[in-house]
């Protein structure tokens, strides 16, 4: 204990006891982000990620790292509280580390999310919300009940006509349909297709149907099999990865995740994310070994696309069906992808099935024997 | 009719996986992200989860 400490009053000397922990069995283990990567060298400009790094070397980066691929080596990050560490095979650690951006809130499943400030979003205020709610949920036809409902809204003590006056209803509805993710009615799906911001296009589906040589018109014949509603795949991808809310969470370089509870233990591979999977690492390595596009030295990144499709019955008593195709990008953590609030699944298309009219057409065209 | 089902399915996927996508698949696509850095992205399909068509 040095002099300074001795001169301080007793109570102050005891401050460190504030950090006393509960007995282990009472402690709740909080999740923890991966250990931070060594800081990228200061002399590397953002655009010029392929050049030499002459900055101070971290212990895990033994030599200076020129751009060429032959210099790729095994790089290990530090271990975090759980003994997890990342192992890259690259010339240097990535500049863009999604681990940096993980906040405590990203790691815990918050059971009671705080109410957003604009709780009526996309409606600007309560009055607009009430009117909008009446319009959408009040049923298709005007009725006595819905009229009374409307009167109740107008007579609501907090209803203010000036709040409703200047609204851009079309924009609000577009936001409503675009941002809806939970609790939507089945028959709103159709609206969603129409109102979603840009990107939905229709392309006719044409297929060839072969006919037996004993039929009236043997050989192949082309048929229209309906119209496919879909979005441009690349536009969807581009929109997704350039979204400011998504960007910090994208992993551009795959790594292997290992668990090493203590220094003496043998590290054990941990599997979980697409960007820590063997397939992704393989695709990444193959891409890095490929000859680059002429005159291009931008970093090359694998985008892990994952498609999903599943037919759904829309109503219990009719044949209304949808067969949507979704896309999600595996460069994002599965913990984010599975949160509805992150809206990580993009609608790509609504697949068509052969309609009855299609069969009739095919039948008429040829199903009579010679 | 199974033939038609299959053909329609494949025809639709060939519409979704359009030329723009194939071009990006082969040569990559340069996108500038919000950190003002440019990357050349190569889309790769890792998974497609679907089930047999229910009746």
Chain A: give the shortest CA distance to residue B23, in Å.
Answer: 10
Per the structure, the count of domains in chain B is 1
pLDDT at position A43 is 37
Q: Which of A210, A297, A305, A363 to mutate to test the interface with B (most CBs of B within 10 A)?
A: A305
ipTM entry: 0.86
pLDDT at position A63 is 35
Report yes or no on B11 lying in a domain: no
Q: Which of B11, B21, B24 to mutate to test the interface with A (most CBs of A within 10 A)?
A: B11
From A210, A242, A300, residue closest to B40, measured CB to CB:
A300
* Under 8 Å between Cβ of A130 and A153: yes
Report yes or no on B2 lying in a domain: no
pLDDT at position A45 is 39
Choice among A209-218, A282-291, B13-22 with the minimum mean pLDDT: A209-218
Distance between CA atoms of A14 and A305, rounded to whole angstroms? 56
Report yes or no on B47 lying in a domain: yes
Token digits of residue A85: 């560490």
Residue B43: give the domain boundaries.
19-55
CB contact under 8 A, A208 and B8: no
pTM for the whole structure: 0.62
Which tens digits make up the pLDDT trace of A246-271? 888 888 888 888 888 888 888 888 88
Which tens digits make up the pLDDT trace of A303-332? 999 998 887 777 777 777 788 888 998 888
CB contact under 8 A, A362 and B4: yes
* Under 8 Å between Cβ of B27 and B45: no
CB contact under 8 A, A293 and B28: yes
Kindly tell me if the per-residue pLDDT of A118 is higher than 70.
no
Distance between CA atoms of A355 and A228, rounded to whole angstroms? 13
Report yes or no on B44 lying in a domain: yes
For the beta carbon of residue A12, count every other beta carbon within 10 angstroms: 9
Chain A residues inside the 8 Å CB shell of B47: 274, 306-308, 330
Report yes or no on B40 lying in a domain: yes
Distance between CA atoms of A120 and B45, rounded to whole angstroms? 38
The rounded percent of chain A whose pLDDT value lies above 90 is 2
Backbone φ and ψ of A187, nearest 5°? -80, 5
What's CA A269's distance to the chain center, in Å? 25
């Amino acid at each position: 204990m040095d002099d300074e400490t001795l001169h301080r009053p007793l109570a102050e000397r005891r401050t460190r006891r504030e950090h006393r922990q509960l007995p282990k069995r009472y402690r709740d283990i909080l999740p923890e982000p991966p250990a931070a990567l060594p800081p990228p060298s200061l002399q590397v400009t953002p655009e010029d990620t392929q050049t030499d790094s002459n900055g101070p070397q971290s212990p895990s980066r033994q030599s200076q790292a020129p751009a060429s691929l032959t210099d790729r080596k095994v790089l290990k990050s530090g271990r975090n509280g759980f003994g997890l560490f990342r192992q890259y095979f690259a010339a240097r650690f990535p500049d863009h580390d999604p681990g940096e951006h993980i906040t405590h809130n990203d790691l815990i499943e918050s059971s009671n999310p705080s109410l957003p400030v604009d709780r009526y979003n996309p409606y600007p205020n309560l009055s607009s919300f009430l009117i909008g709610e009446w319009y959408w949920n009040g049923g298709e036809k005007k009725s006595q009940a819905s009229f009374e409902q409307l009167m109740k809204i107008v007579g609501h003590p907090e209803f203010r006509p000036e709040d409703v006056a200047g609204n851009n209803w079309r924009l609000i509805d577009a936001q409503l349909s675009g941002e809806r993710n939970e609790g939507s009615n089945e028959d709103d799906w159709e609206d969603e297709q129409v109102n979603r911001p840009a990107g939905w296009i229709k392309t006719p589906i044409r297929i060839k149907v072969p006919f037996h040589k004993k039929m009236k018109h043997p050989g192949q014949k082309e048929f229209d099999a309906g119209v496919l509603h879909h979005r441009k795949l690349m536009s969807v991808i581009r929109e997704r990865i350039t979204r400011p809310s998504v960007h910090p969470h994208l992993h551009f370089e795959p790594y292997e995740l290992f668990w090493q509870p203590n220094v003496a233990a043998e590290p054990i591979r941990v599997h979980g994310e697409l960007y820590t999977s063997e397939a992704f690492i393989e695709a990444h390595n193959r891409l890095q070994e490929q000859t680059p596009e002429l005159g291009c030295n931008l970093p090359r990144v694998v985008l892990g696309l994952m498609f999903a499709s599943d037919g759904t019955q829309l109503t219990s008593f009719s044949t209304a069906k949808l067969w949507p195709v979704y896309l999600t990008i595996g460069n994002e953590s599965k913990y984010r992808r599975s949160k509805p609030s992150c809206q990580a699944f993009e609608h790509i298309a609504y697949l068509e099935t052969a309609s009855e009219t299609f069969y009739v057409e095919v039948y008429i065209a040829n199903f009579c024997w010679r | 009719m199974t033939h038609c089902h299959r053909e329609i399915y494949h025809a639709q996927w060939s519409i979704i996986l359009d030329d723009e996508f194939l071009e990006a698949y082969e040569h990559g696509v340069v996108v500038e992200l919000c950190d003002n850095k440019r990357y050349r992205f190569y889309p790769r399909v890792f998974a497609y989860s679907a089930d047999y068509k229910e009746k």
